[in-house]
Amino acid sequence: MICVLLVAGHGTVLEAQIKNDETGLYSHLSGVPKALLPGIGGKKILDFWWETVNMRQLFTEVYLVTNADKYKHYERWATATDFPVENIINDGSTTLEDRLGAVADLELVVRSRKLQDDIMVIAGDMLCADQNFDIAQVIRFFRSKPGELIIYYELEEGEKSSSRGIIEVCHDSHRVTRFLEKPQEGQTASQLASVVFYCIQRDTLSYMSDFLSQQPQTVGRAFGQFWEWLINEKQRHVFGMKLPTGFQLIGQVGLSDYTKWLTHYSTKQQGNPAKPITCRSYARVGLMGNPSDGFNGKTIAMTIANFWAEVTLLETQTLVLVPHPLNDPTEFGSLQDLFCISRKEGYLGGLRLLQATCKKFYQFCSKQGIALTKQNFTLKYDTNIPRQVGLAGSSAIVSATLKCLMKFYNITDNDLPKPIRANFILDVETDELSITAGLQDRVVQVYEGLVYMDFSKELMEEHGFGAYIPMDMSELPPFWLAYLSDPSDSGRIHSNIRQRWLSGELLVIEAMRRFAELTDQARTAFRDKDWSRLVQLMDQNFELRRSIYTDDCLGPGNLKMVELARQFGSAVKLPGSGGAVVGLCLDQARLVEMRRAFQEAGCVFCVISPYNPSASAVGGQH
């Protein structure tokens, strides 16, 4: 691949303002091209791009196109930075009026150097707000698509679409469906702005000559008009890749833009310690319909404030994943200590969850056409969610990690919508780590609060996700939770139900249909605040589950907790895969008695504090 840096523009506005600046602070810059304006630490604007593309493993050659008026400046720059002087091309223009235009400048390089390779084109006098991005990722995405590539970003506050080339992009295919050069207000709702940063296939280079033959006037030879023609008229396949950061010093800019850029990079260079990003995700209880979420059923679940996982991300020089001192032990008091910890908590802590989430995040962004900056970080986690009792502790760590990564890399809800985010978290666990799991936990931890979920086959096949509806959390009754202090592996509870469901066993299929019916009835009970009816439905949910999973599969510990709760007239069911029970007792006095009984039986008991995101100022992020 070949890279072409375009710096042939005539920066008349900036040059005029520098020349006329009454402070005298910038008089020494009079006549200096915009791309060679000094920055921080002796770096010039063009230096950032040269450092980015000066990689022989990616580019066989790098060319630079300038004008006759500024050629000597760039020649001097080249000798100082080891840029090959012979690769500087002079387009012969000396003023704004006799400029060739950006497309003609690129065509000049292709024609004069007889280039027959794919080309990356970059305006060398602009900058990303964060220049440290992975250009290799851009090239990989370009080569994965059957067409050209346009880099774009979301307009920042204060930027007007009428000053940019705006693109409309298909979310699924990433194909650019329309290009509008500096559109008038109301022409498009898109806020996706293109900059001169493109990848063009060798077979498309000939189109430039055809375009230029139709554009005798220089003003029509900008890349904006070229892409309008190529995409809107010629219907060529052009794809978009997003940089999750803005751009600065685009096109004709003034002295204030330059000083703003200086301030931005000065702040970064001062080495001010970045503020850590800390995010939480909460444990959940399945209140109705589970475990039908993995079988095209319906469920209602709720996040609870009693237990959570918290992940902290801090920008650092290298990427570090910090083991948790309790959950990822590497030192033990004795062999017996190792035996006891391993028997109770298993062998797998949370470190693998952080690593798998990071791996999947990079993979997702690469596939979705999001070019990430090359920033490193340290990740550490903490959690108080009891292990192996079916409260979605693993997915809470994954969910909190994903929140941190999205915030760190400026990935928005548009880039990773909530329904897709839930699928992402499930894929981390099932595809990367082979953890038995369903969608319910990931959905409720993404949406947070009390959520109704419909996983019907029709919805899942059409959209790839179900219908997820937040529910009213006002005036909820006092749900309670109890769990075994010494649980077995909760994943065992799924047994052979999936195989039986896939084979079409009528008993299982009918049970999953019935779970969905119970969930719809429970949704009505929540709406009407009919807690007596909800008590009945929760008990029916457990008995239905018991009928298909059998007592042997449910295990004596779970059954003991269920029977104990029923002695006090409480509704009770499993909130997850096993190891805990959730219930609803409407008699306050009996609730107190039941707590004591569970504690005497060696179980941990608590009254649930629902986590309501609308009542939290931080919405799960701290």
Q: Residue 561: CB partners within 8 Å, gap ≥ 6?
A: 482, 484, 572, 580, 581, 598, 601, 603
| Helix intervals (H) in 486-615 | 497-502, 506-528, 531-554, 556-566, 588-600
CA–CA separation, 61 and 268 (whole Å): 31
Rounded alpha-carbon distances, angstroms, from residue 36 to 6, 30, 76, 263, 266: 13, 12, 11, 17, 17
Euclidean distance between CA atoms 306 and 482, whole angstroms: 12
Nearest to 372 by CA among 49, 133, 141, 52: 133
Q: How many helices (H) and strands (E) does the chain have?
A: 19, 21
Q: How many residues does the chain have?
A: 622
**CB proximity list for 55: less than 8 A, separation 6 or greater:** 135, 136
Do 603 and 561 contact (CB within 8 A), yes or no?
Answer: yes
* Among 238, 152, 136, residue whose Cα is nearest residue 195: 152
Calculate the alpha carbon distances from 179 to 110, 185, 450 in Å: 24, 15, 42
- The beta-strand segments (E) located in 327-466 are 376-383, 450-454
Residues 411/270/311/608 CA torsion (nearest 10 deg): -90
Peptide bond into 291 cis (omega under 30): yes
Q: Are 372 and 137 in contact (CB under 8 A)?
A: yes
Give residue for tokens 């108080």. 384
- CA gap 436, 506 in Å, rounded: 23
- Rounded Cα gap, residues 573 and 459, in angstroms: 27
Please identify which of the residues 441, 472, 528, 551 carries the catalytic annotation: 441
520 is catalytic: no
> How many CA atoms lie less than 13 Å away from 437 in the CB half-sphere?
27
Spatial separation of the C-alpha atoms in residues 240 and 348, rounded to whole Å: 40
Residues with Cβ within 8 Å of residue 321, at least 6 apart in sequence: 351, 354, 355, 358, 378, 379, 380
DSSP secondary structure, 266-325, as one string: HHHHTTPPPPPEEEEEEEEEEEESTTGGGGT-EEEEEEEEEEEEEEEEEEESS-EEPPPT
Task: Please say whether the beta carbons of 121 and 108 come within 8 A.
Answer: no
Q: Tell me which residues are annotated as active site.
A: 441
